[in-house]
């Protein structure tokens, strides 16, 4: 049954990719959505079965076939459903289905074959993502890991005739590759250390060891795995592909670059929680990178003018939160934020898609304004998403973000907590800047056609996600607010973490409440700041921009990171390839050798041909010479 | 007596052959060769092989050499140029070609050397002579009948070939 | 006493003379004549050996050699005539059609 969960989308991919040319849009869309919805239903049933099992044995395992059997080493294609992966598959198939439905309307202007191609890629992505989270060993996870990278490339560059799109696709794939290299090295190291790549076996083995005191093999291994995560989940230093990935269609950004693929890195750490918790040095690094990324991305998002770019940097920033959580040992907290973020980030992206769709392709915030009146459904759902991400109490984002901040402080990292708090402020500011600029005030562009709000399929998805953004958080309602912390308890068996954190003296209800109040204050403050600058007194915003023109330019150019990478890495590689490898090795050495052999033969032949004098006497002479020589030789003997 | 005749005929043969290859005028070469054949014929008689001696005169000197003469006269061959052709490849000029002559001398020396190594039989011939034509005839039609017949085919082929090769092109 | 060796030496000398003629002369017909000299030398050898061994085989061999020599002379001269028609020259060096 588990296999079917990922086979359905794969079948959808096969149908749409091979028959796509002949199918009408209705049929392609129906096939793709049907596959996803079917997969969601199967996932729900499987999770239902899982929950019915007693806690200690919560796992459904299905071995499909033995892939590698070499000596002592076996790597079977085994799927394993446990609490952690059940959360993931519900998110993937549930939100995935909604996005598929949304796409049927959003992509409607494409031609039929392109439409089918889009859905085939989207289904393929779902199949690979499900493989990633259901795999029971590193090899299967890696298959999914690479597969989603491939689909991401295909979908970012969906409108491949546009150069910026195909460039963005390449950038995504190549940067991911760098991360994947680290990931693979980490897997090799794990194999060398443990003799197996199965997650359960590794967890058991590592729990028998103590935590590493200094940076040793475990730390190196986990660090390499984390490098892979920075690539896939867009953290420093490999986040540069995500903003460019906005060249792809908006539903793609929603699904892949918000809800699912970018969360693969977080999931990977969660899956290997036991391993990571035995490498405290790496966890430190993870937390620091997460916090730094969150803060940095937040600052950049503040000055972006493209609606999707703001959301892209927001995603990078929120992913930073997730890694911060993992880094301080709050594995359940990180996954919780992953789950809530999927809802509201997908919602925000789909909402921006509705705006773009209504404005026939306009994405610049400075040319929007006043859309609240004309796009009500879009506006209200978007507002829900913005409130959720800002961490306003009552909505999903509040619970998850708050959990992370509390855990960070309680684990004894006040600096990181401060960074997280500042990021929360920035999140509220840039998000509401977006809301006010796009939906409130007067329209800044001058075309006055009548705009239509989101068509039915898109509206359905938006409303569903908005509902989720409100309700989803209650699964993790913390104890101090009356809930039972069910989410974390549910996930506990998946993490197998046996290294207890020293019960911090700060662990008290009072602390948690205090921090919660501070977070709420920060969120509301952020909204107020945004309202001041962008709603009531826009002139003040411009004045600010003037005064801080220098820093603003740095932020606007994303700290020039892309330029630095280009100069330091890309250009040298290009030069080496062009001057060294191409001109010297290929053209001179290899071509020279091959051509040289040809020329050698021709030259030799040129010399030897002179024996063909055409004169019979010369031939007779040489013949006779041979006779004399042979006779002489025999006479000598 | 035998020795005297031998040396006499031998010297004639050698001298005539040398002159054959030294003459510029091909008619002289042919005639000198006839003389050489005559000497050889004498040598055959000394070897008590009269049949061969006669055949030599009839066939070689009488038929083949006459054929050569006819051709020489038909072609009205010009005298060989004494200067070499400028266009000729350096290796083919008289200089290098004399290398061939030198080789020939080397060959002769090798032959003599070979013969001497085998302990020269300077004595009289061991076996007896077979001088009767009848004996030869019996041999030809007996054990050597097949080659005999094949030779006749060979001559037929050569005849046809010669006619075809020397034919004038059809206009 | 004149023995086998004498005849063989004589034959060898005649053969060498014939070979030298092939290389030195620049007239096709003379070259053919030199070849005839070589053949005769060989005939002499055969007869001498036949006498030494007391068999008729030597003379039989000569019979065949002579026949073949006749055939060869006929065909060779036919070729010479044909070549002469082409090039008006009997110099072997002027026939270099098979040159590179």
Q: Which of A104-113, B145-154, C89-98 comes out lowest in average pLDDT?
A: C89-98
According to the model, what pLDDT value does residue A488 have? 77
Asked whether A556 and A562 are in contact (CB, 8 A), the reply is no
Q: How confident is the model at residue B111 (pLDDT cuts 50, 70, 90)?
A: confident
Name the residue in chain A with its Cα closest to that of C25: A617
Residues of B within 8 A of A633 (CB-CB) are none
- Tens digits of per-residue pLDDT, A112-162? 788 889 999 999 999 999 999 999 999 999 999 999 999 999 999 999 888
Question: Which C residues in the span 33-92 are in contact with A, Cβ-Cβ below 8 Å?
Answer: 92
CATH code that applies to domain C11-90: 1.10.287.3510
Give the distance from residue C26's alpha carbon to the nearest chain A alpha carbon, in angstroms: 10
- Which residues of A touch chain B, with CB atoms under 8 Å apart? 613, 615, 617-618, 620-621, 624-625, 627-628, 631-632, 635
Cβ contact A216:A273 at 8 Å:
no
CA-CA distance, A439 to A373, in Å (whole number)?
8
C85, HSE (Cβ side, Cα atoms, 13 Å): 11
Residue of B99, B110, B117 lying closest to A631 (CB–CB): B110
Q: What is the mean pLDDT of residues A584-588?
A: 81
Do the Cβ atoms of C25 and B81 come within 8 Å? no
> What average pLDDT score do residues A405-418 get?
86
pLDDT in tens, A306-336: 899 999 999 999 999 999 999 998 888 888 9
Could you list the beta-strand ranges (E) of chain B: none
The answer to whether B124 and C7 have CB atoms below 8 angstroms apart is: no
List the 23-82 stretch of C: residues with Cβ below 8 A of B.
23-27, 29-30, 32-34, 36-37, 40, 43-44, 47-48, 50-60, 62-64, 66-75, 77-82
Q: Is the CB of residue C59 less than 8 Å from the CB of residue B49?
A: yes
Rounded CA-CA distance A256/A349 in Å is 11
A152 contacts A172 by C-beta, under 8 angstroms? yes
Taking only the tens place, the pLDDT of each residue in C35-84 is: 999 999 999 999 988 888 888 888 999 999 999 999 999 999 999 998 88
Does the beta carbon of C95 lie under 8 angstroms from any beta carbon of chain A? Answer: yes
Does C89 or C18 have the greater pLDDT score? C18
Map tokens 């993490």 to a residue: A495
Across the interface, do C100 and A614 touch by the CB < 8 Å criterion? Answer: yes
Whether the predicted pLDDT of A450 surpasses 90: no
Lowest model confidence (mean pLDDT) among A2-16, A568-582, B35-49? A568-582
Smallest CA–CA distance, residue C21 to chain A, in Å, is: 11
Q: DSSP per residue over A114-183, as a string?
A: HHHHHHHHHHHHHHHHHHHHHBSBHHHHHHHHHHHHHHHHHHHTSSTTSHHHHHHHHHHHHHHHHHHHHH
Contacts of B81 in chain C (CB under 8 A): 26, 91
Q: Over range A213-239, report the average pLDDT.
A: 87
What is the arithmetic mean of pLDDT over A450-460? 79
Are C99 and A616 a contacting pair at CB < 8 A? no
Tell whether the model's pLDDT for residue A232 goes beyond 70. Answer: yes
CB-CB under 8 Å, B3 with C77:
no
Chain A residue numbers with beta carbons less than 8 Å from the beta carbon of B106 are: 628, 632
Which of A15-19, A212-216, A409-413 has the lowest average pLDDT?
A212-216
Residue C77: name the closest of C28, C34, C8 by CA.
C28
Q: Domain segments of chain C: what residues?
A: 11-90
Contact indicator for B130, C54 with CB cutoff of 8 Å: yes
pTM exceeds cut of 0.80: no
For residues A330 and A270, give the distance between their C-alpha atoms in angstroms, rounded to a whole number: 10
The structure tokens listed for B117 are 């190594």
CATH topology of domain B1-79: 1.20.120
Q: Which two tokens stand for residue A494?
A: 């998946």
pLDDT > 90: what percent of chain C?
41
Mutate to test the interface with C, among A608, A610, A611, A613 (most CBs of C within 10 A): A613
The number of angstroms, rounded, from the C-alpha of A127 to the middle of its chain's C-alpha atoms is 15
Quick check: bond before A33 cis, omega within 30? no
Residue B8 to residue B14: CA distance in whole angstroms: 10
Question: Is C95 at the interface with chain B, CB within 8 A?
Answer: no
Strand, coil or helix: B120: coil
pLDDT computed for residue B107 by the predictor: 80
Radius of gyration of chain C (CA): 17
**pLDDT at A502 exceeding the cut of 70:** no
User: For residue range A180-200, what is the model confidence (pLDDT) as tens digits?
Assistant: 999 999 999 999 988 888 888
Q: Which residues of A touch C27 (CB under 8 A)?
A: none
Are the C-beta atoms of residues A124 and A9 closer than 8 Å to each other?
A: yes
pLDDT confidence tier of residue A503, bands split at 50, 70 and 90: very low
Residue A547 burial (C-beta neighbours within 10 Å; 0-12, 13-18, 19+) = exposed
Residue in C43, C54, C84 closest to B75 by CB: C84
For residue A63, report the phi and psi dihedrals to the nearest 5 degrees.
Answer: -95, 120
Q: To 5 degrees, how large is the angle CA C71–CA C77–CA C81?
A: 145
* CB-CB neighbors (< 8 A) of A609 in chain C: 100
Report the alpha-carbon distance of residue C1 to residue B109 in Å, rounded: 22
Contact C4 B59 (CB under 8 A): no
Q: For A393, phi and psi rounded to 5 degrees?
A: -60, 150
Query: Percentage of chain A surpassing pLDDT 70?
Result: 95
Q: Which residue in chain B has the smallest CA separation from A627?
A: B107
Does the structure show a pLDDT above 60 at A338? yes
Please state whether beta strands A73-81 and A60-70 pair in parallel, antiparallel, or not at all (unpaired).
antiparallel
Q: How far is CA A171 from CA A461, A519, B40, in A?
A: 30, 37, 100
Going by pLDDT thresholds of 50, 70 and 90, the confidence category of residue A366 is confident
Q: At what angle do helices A456-471 and A376-390 cross, to 10 degrees?
A: 30
- Residues on chain B touching A635 (C-beta within 8 angstroms): 110, 113-114, 117
Q: Which pLDDT score is estimated for B87?
A: 54
Going by pLDDT thresholds of 50, 70 and 90, the confidence category of residue B151 is: very high
Q: Which chains have 3+ CB pairs within 8 A of A?
A: B, C
Question: Is the CB of A620 inside 8 Å of chain C's CB atoms?
Answer: yes
Q: In chain C, which residues have their Cβ closer than 8 Å to the Cβ of A617?
A: 22-23, 92-93
- How many CB pairs below 8 Å do chains A and B form together? 34
Q: How far apart are CA A92 and CA A88, in angstroms?
A: 6
- pLDDT, chain A, mean: 85
The H or E element containing residue B88 is none
Interchain contact, C96 vs A612, CB within 8 Å? no
- Contacting partners of chain C (3+ CB pairs under 8 A): A, B
**Tens digits of residue pLDDT in B28-79:** 999 999 999 999 999 999 888 899 999 999 999 999 999 999 999 988 766 6
Residues in chain C: 100
What integer pLDDT is reported at residue C65 of this predicted model? 94
Predicted pLDDT at A505: 42
Work out the pLDDT band at C8, boundaries 50, 70, 90: confident
Q: What is the C-alpha to C-alpha distance for residues C17 and B14, in angstroms, rounded to an integer?
A: 8
Class of residue A487 by CB neighbours under 10 A (exposed 0-12, middle 13-18, buried 19+): buried
Give Cα A393 distance to the centre of its chain. 28
Cβ contact A420:A324 at 8 Å: yes
Per-residue pLDDT of A239-289, as tens digits, reads 888 888 888 899 998 988 777 888 899 999 999 988 888 888 889 899 999
In the predicted model, what is the mean pLDDT of residues A352-359? 88
Alpha-carbon distance C25 to nearest alpha carbon in chain A (angstroms)? 10
Residue A386 CA to residue A408 CA, distance in Å, equals 24
């Amino acid at each position: 049954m588990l296999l079917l969960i990922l086979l359905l989308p794969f079948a959808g991919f096969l149908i749409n990719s091979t028959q796509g040319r002949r199918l009408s849009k209705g049929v392609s869309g129906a096939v793709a959505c049907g596959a996803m919805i079917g997969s969601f239903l199967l996932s729900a049933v499987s999770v239902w079965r899982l929950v019915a099992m007693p806690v200690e044995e919560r796992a459904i395992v299905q071995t499909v076939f033995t892939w590698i059997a070499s000596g002592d080493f076996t790597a079977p294609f085994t799927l394993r459903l446990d609490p952690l992966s059940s959360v993931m598959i519900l998110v993937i198939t549930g939100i995935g289905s909604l996005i598929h439905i949304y796409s049927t309307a959003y992509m409607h202007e494409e031609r039929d074959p392109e439409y089918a191609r889009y859905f085939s890629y989207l289904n393929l992505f779902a199949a690979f993502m499900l493989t990633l989270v259901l795999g029971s060993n590193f090899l299967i996870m890696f298959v999914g890991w690479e597969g989603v990278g491939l689909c991401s490339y295909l979908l970012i560059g969906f409108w491949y005739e546009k150069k910026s799109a195909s460039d963005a696709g390449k950038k995504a794939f190549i940067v991911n590759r760098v991360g994947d290299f680290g990931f693979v090295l980490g897997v090799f190291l794990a194999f060398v250390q443990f003799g197996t790549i199965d997650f359960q076996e590794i967890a058991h083995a590592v729990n028998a060891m103590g935590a590493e005191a200094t940076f040793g093999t475990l730390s190196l291994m986990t660090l390499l795995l984390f490098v892979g995560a920075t690539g896939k989940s867009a953290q420093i230093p490999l986040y540069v592909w995500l903003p460019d990935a906005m060249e792809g269609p908006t539903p793609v950004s929603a699904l892949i670059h918000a809800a699912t693929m970018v969360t693969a890195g977080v999931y990977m750490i969660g899956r290997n929680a036991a391993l990571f918790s035995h490498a405290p040095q790496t966890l430190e690094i993870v937390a620091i990178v997460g916090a730094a990324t969150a803060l940095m991305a937040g600052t950049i998002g503040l000055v972006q003018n493209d609606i999707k770019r703001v959301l892209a940097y927001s995603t990078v920033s929120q992913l930073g939160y997730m890694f911060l959580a993992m880094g301080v040992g709050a594995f359940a907290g990180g996954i919780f934020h992953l789950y809530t973020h999927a809802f509201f980030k997908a919602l925000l992206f789909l909402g921006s898609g509705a705006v773009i769709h209504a404005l026939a392709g306009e994405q610049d915030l400075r040319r929007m304004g006043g859309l609240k009146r004309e796009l009500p459904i879009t506006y209200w759902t978007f507002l829900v998403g913005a409130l959720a991400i800002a961490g306003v109490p009552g909505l999903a984002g509040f619970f998850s973000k708050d959990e992370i901040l509390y855990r960070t402080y309680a684990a004894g990292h006040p600096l990181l907590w401060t960074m997280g708090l500042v990021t929360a402020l920035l999140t509220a500011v840039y998000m509401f800047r977006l809301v006010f600029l796009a939906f409130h005030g007067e329209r800044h562009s001058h075309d006055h056609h009548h705009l239509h709000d989101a068509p039915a399929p898109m509206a359905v998805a938006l409303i569903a996600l908005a509902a989720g953004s409100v309700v989803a958080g209650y699964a993790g309602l913390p104890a101090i607010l009356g809930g039972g912390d069910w989410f974390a308890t549910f996930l506990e068996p998946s993490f197998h973490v046996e290294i207890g954190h020293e019960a911090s003296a700060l662990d008290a209800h009072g602390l948690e409440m205090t921090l919660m109040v501070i977070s709420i204050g920060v969120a509301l403050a952020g909204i107020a700041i945004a309202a001041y600058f962008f709603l009531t007194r826009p002139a003040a915003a411009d004045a600010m921009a003037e005064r801080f023109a220098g820093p603003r330019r740095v932020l606007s150019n994303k700290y020039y990171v892309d330029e630095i990478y280009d100069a330091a890495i890309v250009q040298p590689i290009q030069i080496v390839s062009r001057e060294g490898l191409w001109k010297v090795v290929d053209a001179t050495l290899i071509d020279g050798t091959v051509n040289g052999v040809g020329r050698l033969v021709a030259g030799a032949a040129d010399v030897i041909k002179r024996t063909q004098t055409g004169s019979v006497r010369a031939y007779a002479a040489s013949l006779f010479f041979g006779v004399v020589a042979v006779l002489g030789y025999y006479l000598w003997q | 007596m035998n020795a005297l005749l031998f040396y006499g005929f031998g010297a004639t043969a050698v001298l005539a052959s040398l002159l054959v290859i030294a003459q510029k005028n091909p008619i002289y070469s042919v005639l000198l060769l006839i003389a050489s054949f005559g000497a050889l014929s004498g040598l055959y008689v000394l070897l008590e092989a009269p049949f061969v001696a006669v055949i030599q005169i009839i066939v070689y000197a009488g038929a083949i050499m006459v054929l050569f003469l006819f051709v020489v006269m038909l072609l009205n061959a010009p005298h060989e140029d004494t200067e070499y052709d400028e266009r000729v490849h350096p290796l083919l000029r008289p200089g290098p070609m004399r290398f061939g002559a030198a080789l020939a001398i080397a060959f002769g020396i090798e032959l003599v050397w070979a013969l001497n190594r085998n302990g020269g039989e300077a004595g009289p011939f061991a076996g007896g002579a077979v001088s009767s034509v009848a004996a030869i005839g019996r041999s030809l039609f007996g054990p050597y009948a097949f080659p005999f017949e094949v030779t006749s085919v060979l001559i037929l082929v050569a005849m046809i070939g010669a006619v075809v090769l020397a034919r004038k092109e059809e206009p | 006493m004149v023995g086998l060796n004498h005849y063989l030496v004589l034959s060898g000398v005649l053969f060498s003379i014939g070979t030298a003629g092939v290389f030195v002369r620049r007239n096709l017909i003379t070259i053919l004549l030199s070849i005839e000299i070589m053949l005769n030398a060989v005939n002499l050898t055969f007869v001498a050996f036949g006498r030494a061994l007391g068999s008729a085989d030597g003379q039989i061999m000569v019979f065949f050699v002579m026949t073949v020599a006749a055939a060869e002379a006929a065909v060779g001269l036919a070729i010479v005539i044909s070549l002469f028609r082409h090039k008006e020259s009997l110099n072997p060096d002027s026939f270099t059609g098979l040159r590179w």
